[in-house]
């Protein structure tokens, strides 16, 4: 039967492909890092591009420990099976000790439990927000290998509660995206609103891709809230807010950072968003954040306005700084242990660009520590690999968004403390 022969031939070919060494790259020495990101999804591609941008800057500064960095990028297709397989291939076949990704918590989690923790690989995600990671880490099951630059939903929800209380709202309805992030957000925001004395009249889940949200919006409207809180993404946010306003809902709105998009502003109409306030964790105050924005605009010819871009940049940059700090040939665990050295609040501040990386390398070589001033502010991880961050309150204007209020890290921490 010739078919069997074909099977063996195909199998042999596959083996040969796997075993074949990478054909001659001109670089003297290359260190590979892995990235598993949903590049087949429209919003996933810019996240990957931004990570590659950070890698390019580091390479321009001479690379890490004298070696150029090659980021091997694999697509997750937002499918856990595909993501886990890609991560395993990166760890086993490409030999990476550092993995960036994934975006969805439902993909990051099985990668963490079945690939990176058993394999001793450091994993840093730009965007996974589930509180399940914090819990896993508290139980000591991440071995300290897990980090994320996406501030936990706690910061956003606390700042939203502060906005509601500052604005003097008495009651509010919540519309949230029906995924892990949205459900976490809805749970936290209910507690935080209650803590500042704002009544939550309704909390309604919004599923993706529905042609109309009239039923959901009517339910929220029927509870007669004074204001509306939105934990939604631009596509379904636009649809829901249009229905909300056309049915006579209040224009007093508080939005999560996911709605900080030109698409949402244009499709809803700026005239309806005059009293809408947004929250975000990015800090536009530090020089390095400005440098990031300027560099991003120069490189991609657009503002870094999509979700997760600044976080993706910081994830890549901090990981590479930690790799530098851990020294040549470091294991994933050693890199993870070196993260505090590059995010030390008492260290020398460095900017998030090529010069910043070069400067950090010299300081680290001299045994010092640095304080990375990133695109999302002066990032600092807690014991569970979570970040707290400074926050801003923003609103829409003709050019995009403008800052209304800035809350430093200390102010955010103090306010979160006062809620408990």
Partner 1 sequence: MIGVLSYLVFFATTASILAIAVLGLNLQWGNTGLFNGGVVAFFGAGAYGTLILGGPPQEGMVGGFALTYPMALLGGMAVAGVMAWIVGLLTLRLRHDYLAIATFGVAVAFENLMRNAEWLAGGAKGVRGFERPFREAIGDGFLYNLVFFVAVLLILIATYVFLERLVASPFGRLLRAIREDEEAAQSLGKSPSRVRLTAFVTGSVIMGLAGGLYGTFYAFVSPQDVLPTLTFQVWAMLIVGGAGNNRGAVFGAFLIWGAWTISGWALSRFAPVEAQLYTGSVQFILIGAVIVGMLVWRPQGLLPERLIVSQQGSNPVNKRGE
Enumerate binding residues for partner 1 (CB under 8 A).
3, 7, 14, 17-19, 22, 38-41, 44-45, 48-49, 52, 72-75, 77-82, 84-86, 88-89, 91-93, 95, 104-107, 109-110, 113-114, 117-118, 130-132, 135-136, 178-184, 205, 207
Dihedral angle, C-alpha 57, 58, 62, 66, nearest 10 °: -160
Q: How far is the CB of 57 from partner 1 (least distance, A)?
A: 16
Q: How far is the CB of 418 from partner 1 (least distance, A)?
A: 25
Is 113 or 167 the residue whose CB approaches partner 1 more closely? 113
Q: How far is the CB of 9 from partner 1 (least distance, A)?
A: 13
Is 134 or 257 the residue whose CB approaches partner 1 more closely? 134
Is 112 or 273 the residue whose CB approaches partner 1 more closely? 112
Residue 356 token pair: 């910043």
Q: How far is the CB of 293 from partner 1 (least distance, A)?
A: 22
Query: How are the residues of the chain apportioned to helix, strand and coil, as percentages rounded to the nearest 5?
Result: 50, 20, 30
Q: In what order do the strands lie in the sheet with 146-148?
A: 68-75, 30-37, 98-101, 122-125, 146-148
Q: How far is the CB of 47 from partner 1 (least distance, A)?
A: 10
Q: Is 9 helix (H, G, I), strand (E, B) or coil?
A: helix
Instruction: Give, in order, the Cα–Cα distances in Å from 229 to each of 148, 240, 262.
Output: 25, 12, 19
Q: How far is the CB of 340 from partner 1 (least distance, A)?
A: 25
Query: What span, in angstroms and rounded, lies between the C-alpha atoms of 331 and 56?
Result: 23
Is 118 or 345 the residue whose CB approaches partner 1 more closely? 118
Is 2 or 271 the residue whose CB approaches partner 1 more closely? 2
Residue 46 token pair: 């810019």
Question: How distant is the alpha carbon of residue 217 from its chain centre?
Answer: 29
> For 126, which DSSP code?
S
- Which residues neighbour 94 within 8 Å (Cβ) at sequence distance 6 or greater? 32, 34, 72
Is 17 or 26 the residue whose CB approaches partner 1 more closely? 17
Is 56 or 355 the residue whose CB approaches partner 1 more closely? 56
Query: What span, in angstroms and rounded, lies between the C-alpha atoms of 293 and 391?
Result: 17
Please measure the distance between the N-terminal and C-terminal CA atoms of the chain and give it in whole angstroms: 72
Q: How far is the CB of 209 from partner 1 (least distance, A)?
A: 12
């Amino acid at each position: 039967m010739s078919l069997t022969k074909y099977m063996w031939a195909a199998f042999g070919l596959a083996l040969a492909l796997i075993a074949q060494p990478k054909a001659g790259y001109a670089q003297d020495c290359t260190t590979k890092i892995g990235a598993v990101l949903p590049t087949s999804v429209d919003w996933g591609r810019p996240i990957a591009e931004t990570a590659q941008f950070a890698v390019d800057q580091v390479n321009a500064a001479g690379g890490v420990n004298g070696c150029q960095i090659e980021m091997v990028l694999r697509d997750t297709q937002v499918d856990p099976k595909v993501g886990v397989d890609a991560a395993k291939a990166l760890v086993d076949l490409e030999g990476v000790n550092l993995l960036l990704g994934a975006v969805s918590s439902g993909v990051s989690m099985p990668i963490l439990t079945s690939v990176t923790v058993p394999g001793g690989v450091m994993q840093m995600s730009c965007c996974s927000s589930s509180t399940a990671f914090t819990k896993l880490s508290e139980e000591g099951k991440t071995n300290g290998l897990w980090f994320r630059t996406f501030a936990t939903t706690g910061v956003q929800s606390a700042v939203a509660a502060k906005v509601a209380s500052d604005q003097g709202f008495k009651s509010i309805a919540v519309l949230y995206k029906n995924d892990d992030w949205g459900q976490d957000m809805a749970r936290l925001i209910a507690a935080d609103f209650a803590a500042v004395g704002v009544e939550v009249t309704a909390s309604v889940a919004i599923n993706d891709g529905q042609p109309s949200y009239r039923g959901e919006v009517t339910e929220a409207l029927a509870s007669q809230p004074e204001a509306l809180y939105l934990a939604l993404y631009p596509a379904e946010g636009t649809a829901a807010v249009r229905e909300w306003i056309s049915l006579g809902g209040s224009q007093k709105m508080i939005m999560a950072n996911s709605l900080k998009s030109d698409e949402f502003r244009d499709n809803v109409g700026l005239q309806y968003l005059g009293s809408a306030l947004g929250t975000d964790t990015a800090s536009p105050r530090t020089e390095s954040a400005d440098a990031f924005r300027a560099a991003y605009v120069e490189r991609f010819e657009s503002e870094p306005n999509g979700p997760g871009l600044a976080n993706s940049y910081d994830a890549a940059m901090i990981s590479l700084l930690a790799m530098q700090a851990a020294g040549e040939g470091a294991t994933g665990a050693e890199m993870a242990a070196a993260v505090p050295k590059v995010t030390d609040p008492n260290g020398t501040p460095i900017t998030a660009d090529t010069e910043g990386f070069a400067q950090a390398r010299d300081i680290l070589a001299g045994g010092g520590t640095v304080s990375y001033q990133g695109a999302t502010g002066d990032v600092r991880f807690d014991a569970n690999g979570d970040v707290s961050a400074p926050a801003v309150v923003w609103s829409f204007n003709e050019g995009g968004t403008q800052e209304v209020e800035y809350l430093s890290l200390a102010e955010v921490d103090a306010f979160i403390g006062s809620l408990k």
